[in-house]
């Protein structure tokens, strides 16, 4: 399988790797650690990408992009995720908030929200999941009622990444009780500093900012806060989730670590059990499978179509890859003992590998529920296949 995307994408990939090497410190494991310097690194790097037109290159120039191909945007996703997402939380605005506003927003909403995202100046969070509505999102209870020309929103959201630092929330609320629970839902663009919005962090091993509760107590928004049609938000949500799931290129980090294993282990590579090397090779194959499924979704999106079932298939494959590769890498990391290396450079490489693998394994535990549980994705795909048979 030839995964090359052409000379423009190849040149962009090289440019991004040079920027990461120059501006992202060795040992960087993401923006949301206990070290404030990591967050500052991400904020500076995000602004650097924006200044060079590399944050959202596939966006139209009128919204802050440079009319590049979707494949160049894919290169940005892959290189950023492979290097611990040095854009920080900005990937959310670039990957799916912005594209959704382009497709469903009014001219005023596009003018107000898209340029700040393209400049790396604003952070969004996603107000979807609730205590009793996670995988079964359509069962949510957060409600919005009309109040003159605007709306009043009350309810609770949970597992809301970046809510403590976000300026805006892409919020789903119930606006009517109709025949099916998927009906009567509406999307609102809500400022996080609006009176009545309260954020409470949830402590986890994943670090600060990742998980929070958001309480909305009679939050008032204007009529211009509605994205798309009132009561028809579910159709938009299905698109959003497709963009979100393919926008996180988890396979890129898996492949980077798998490719680094022989170098990091050095002479210890020859001591690996044959069965473990076979599993390592299988994981590399599964990386390519996940990449191919992602490219299939991206190609349909480029044509203006959104296929949630293809996104579900990708989500299943990349989730399994995340966890299975983490297990293989963790076993390999036991052979990369820095103290056994005579050369300082080799010892540093082994230490880096062990740290990276531990971080990858910790995050992989959450991958079966993040962006929609894998069990729900299997049900969605099974229903689609049965309906087509």
Higher-scoring residue by pLDDT: 368, 104: 104
Indicate if the pLDDT at residue 339 is higher than 70: no
Instruction: Tell me which DSSP letter residue 169 carries.
Output: E
**The domain spanning residue 184 has which CATH number?**
2.40.110.10
Q: Determine the pLDDT at residue 2.
A: 65
Q: Determine the pLDDT at residue 211.
A: 85
Q: Are 253 and 380 contained in the same domain?
A: yes
216: which 2 tokens?
């909305």
The answer to whether the beta carbons of residues 250 and 318 sit under 8 Å apart is: yes
Range of the domain at 192: 126-232
Query: Is 384 contained in some domain?
Result: yes
Indicate if the pLDDT at residue 301 is higher than 90: no
pLDDT tens, position by position, 270-294: 989 999 999 999 999 999 999 998 8
Average pLDDT, the chain: 89
Indicate if the pLDDT at residue 59 is higher than 90: yes
Indicate if the pLDDT at residue 5 is higher than 90: no
Q: Are 262 and 220 contained in the same domain?
A: no
Q: Are 194 and 260 contained in the same domain?
A: no
Q: What's the mean pLDDT in 123-142? A: 90
Q: Determine the pLDDT at residue 191.
A: 98
Task: Point out the least confidently predicted range of 63-77, 178-192, 254-268, 364-378.
Answer: 364-378
SS (H, E, C) 171-204: EEEECCCCCCCCCCEEEEEEECCCCCEEEEECCC
Domain boundary among the residues 232, 263, 282 is at 232
Query: Is 13 contained in some domain?
Result: yes
Nearest to 129 by CA among 154, 155, 151: 155
Q: Are 253 and 357 contained in the same domain?
A: yes
138: which 2 tokens?
């359509």
Indicate if the pLDDT at residue 372 is higher than 70: no
Q: Determine the pLDDT at residue 343.
A: 76
Query: Is 57 contained in some domain?
Result: yes
**40 in catalytic set:** no
Q: Determine the pLDDT at residue 267.
A: 86
Indicate if the pLDDT at residue 174 is higher than 90: yes
The answer to whether the beta carbons of residues 282 and 329 sit under 8 Å apart is: no
Share of the chain above pLDDT 70, in %: 90
Domain boundary among the residues 58, 88, 118 is at 88
Q: Is 72 left (phi over 0), alpha (psi -120 to 50) or beta?
A: alpha
Q: Number of folded domains in the chain?
A: 3
Question: Which member of 244, 255, 346, 349 is catalytic?
Answer: 244
Query: Is 243 contained in some domain?
Result: no
Say what the pTM is: 0.86
Q: Are 158 and 261 contained in the same domain?
A: no
> How close are the terminal C-alpha atoms of the chain, in Å?
28
| CA separation for the pair 211, 343 (Å, rounded) | 41
pLDDT tens, position by position, 15-46: 999 999 999 998 899 888 888 899 899 999 99
Q: Are 214 and 281 contained in the same domain?
A: no
Share of the chain above pLDDT 90, in %: 61
Q: Are 305 and 332 contained in the same domain?
A: yes
Query: Is 108 contained in some domain?
Result: no
Q: Are 309 and 372 contained in the same domain?
A: yes
Indicate if the pLDDT at residue 359 is higher than 80: yes
Q: Are 63 and 155 contained in the same domain?
A: no
Higher-scoring residue by pLDDT: 46, 379: 46
Query: Is 257 contained in some domain?
Result: yes
Indicate if the pLDDT at residue 95 is higher than 90: no
């Amino acid at each position: 399988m030839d995964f090359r995307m052409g000379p423009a994408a190849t040149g962009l990939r090289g440019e991004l790797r040079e920027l990461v090497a120059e501006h992202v410190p060795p040992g960087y494991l993401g923006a949301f650690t206990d070290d404030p310097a990591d967050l500052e690194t991400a904020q500076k790097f995000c602004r650097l990408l924006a200044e060079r037109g590399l944050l959202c290159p596939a966006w139209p120039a009128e919204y802050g992009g440079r009319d590049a191909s979707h494949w160049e945007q894919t290169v940005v996703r892959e290189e950023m995720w492979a290097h611990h997402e040095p854009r920080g939380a900005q990937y959310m605005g670039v990957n799916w908030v912005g594209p959704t506003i382009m497709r469903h927003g009014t001219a005023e909403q596009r003018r107000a929200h898209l340029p700040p995202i393209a400049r790396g100046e604003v952070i969004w969070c996603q107000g979807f999941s609730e205590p009793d509505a996670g995988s079964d999102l359509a069962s949510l209870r957060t409600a919005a009622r009309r109040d003159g020309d605007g709306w009043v929103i009350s309810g609770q959201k949970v597992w809301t990444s970046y809510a403590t630092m976000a300026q805006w929330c892409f919020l789903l609320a119930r606006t009517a009780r109709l025949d099916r629970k998927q009906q009567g839902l509406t999307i609102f663009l809500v400022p996080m500093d609006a009176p009545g919005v309260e954020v409470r962090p949830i402590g986890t091993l994943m670090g600060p900012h990742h998980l929070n509760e958001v309480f909305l107590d009679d939050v008032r928004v204007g009529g211009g806060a509605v994205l798309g049609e009132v009561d028809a938000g579910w159709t938009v949500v299905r698109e959003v989730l497709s963009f979100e799931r393919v926008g996180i290129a988890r396979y890129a980090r898996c492949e980077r670590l798998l490719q680094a294993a022989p170098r990091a282990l050095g002479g210890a590579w020859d001591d690996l059990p044959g069965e473990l090397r076979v599993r390592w090779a299988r994981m590399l194959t599964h990386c390519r499978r996940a990449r191919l499924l992602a490219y299939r979704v991206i190609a349909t999106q480029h044509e203006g179509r959104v296929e949630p079932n293809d996104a579900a298939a990708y989500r299943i494959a990349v989730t399994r890859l995340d966890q299975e590769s983490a297990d293989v890498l963790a076993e390999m990391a036991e052979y990369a003992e820095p103290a056994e290396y005579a050369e300082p450079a080799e010892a540093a490489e082994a230490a880096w590998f062990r740290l990276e693998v531990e971080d990858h394994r910790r995050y992989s535990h959450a991958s079966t529920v993040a962006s929609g549980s894998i069990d729900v994705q299997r049900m969605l795909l099974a229903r689609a296949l049965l309906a087509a048979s």
